[in-house]
Amino acid sequence: MAEAQLQQFLEKVRQLNAFVALSEADPALRQALRDCGDHHQVVALARSRGFEIGRRWGEPPGNEPAVDAGDGGASLVRSPCPADGEEVTTVLLQTPQLRLERIHSCNARSPEDFWYDQSEHEWVLLLQGSATLQFADEAEPRALACGDALLISAGRRHRVLASDPPPGTIWLALFWPAPPAH
């Protein structure tokens, strides 16, 4: 671990410890913490009290400028977060056989009656954040976290139920055509 990463980690631990100490001394804050339904609500509550505990291990600060994807030194994780409910797709590579996209979503979800039903296979990898997907052929939604990968076969209906608030969810998606049916 580089010294800068160690310092980042230790600072997050200090912030967490201070937030815990404050919640133990303040019954109203303790109740507000108990009322939180997920990680994002805890992070927002901590932020409202001046603590920054939301950045996950290895994530850069949320608003660093992206390195130009065309210069050979592209960063896949540093870029401004899209507007709330939006996603930004950047095609990183395209040939007749495949397309590689970087998708940065912020509190984005598929419309209620919408399902992706693609003619291409898709492999996705979460580079940052988390997301919840629903497949038409599965009863329970799937939670994905940073580092998780998933193959979605052509024609498999799916939808995004949730992606993270700032700094958002960053997906790397590889698409390639399904062979013609015989």
Count CB neighbours of 171 within 10 A.
Answer: 25
Instruction: Specify the 3-state DSSP secondary structure of 87.
Output: strand
Domains identified in the chain, total number:
2
Question: Do 92 and 170 fall into the same domain?
Answer: yes
Which residues are bridge partners to 152 per DSSP?
122
Residue 58: partners with Cβ closer than 8 Å, 6 or more residues away = 5, 146
Q: Is the peptide bond before 167 cis (omega within 30 degrees of 0)?
A: yes
Question: Do 30 and 103 fall into the same domain?
Answer: no
Q: What is the pLDDT of residues 76-112, one digit of tens each?
A: 887 888 899 999 999 999 998 999 999 999 999 999 9
Query: Which residue is it, tokens 């969810």?
Result: 169
Boundary (domain end) residue, out of 48, 63, 79: 48
CA distance 114 to 173: 19
Question: Do 172 and 107 fall into the same domain?
Answer: yes
Residue 173 forms part of a structural domain:
yes
CA distance 143 to 133: 7
Residue 76 sits at φ, ψ, to 5 deg, of -85, -10
Q: Tell me which residue range forms the domain holding 17.
A: 3-48
Residue 123 forms part of a structural domain:
yes
pTM for this entry: 0.63
pLDDT in tens, the chain (182 residues): 577 777 777 877 887 888 888 888 888 888 988 998 777 778 777 777 777 777 665 555 543 334 344 445 567 887 888 899 999 999 999 998 999 999 999 999 999 999 999 999 999 999 999 999 999 999 999 999 999 999 999 999 999 999 999 999 999 999 999 988 77
pLDDT, residue 65, reads 38
Residue 95 forms part of a structural domain:
yes
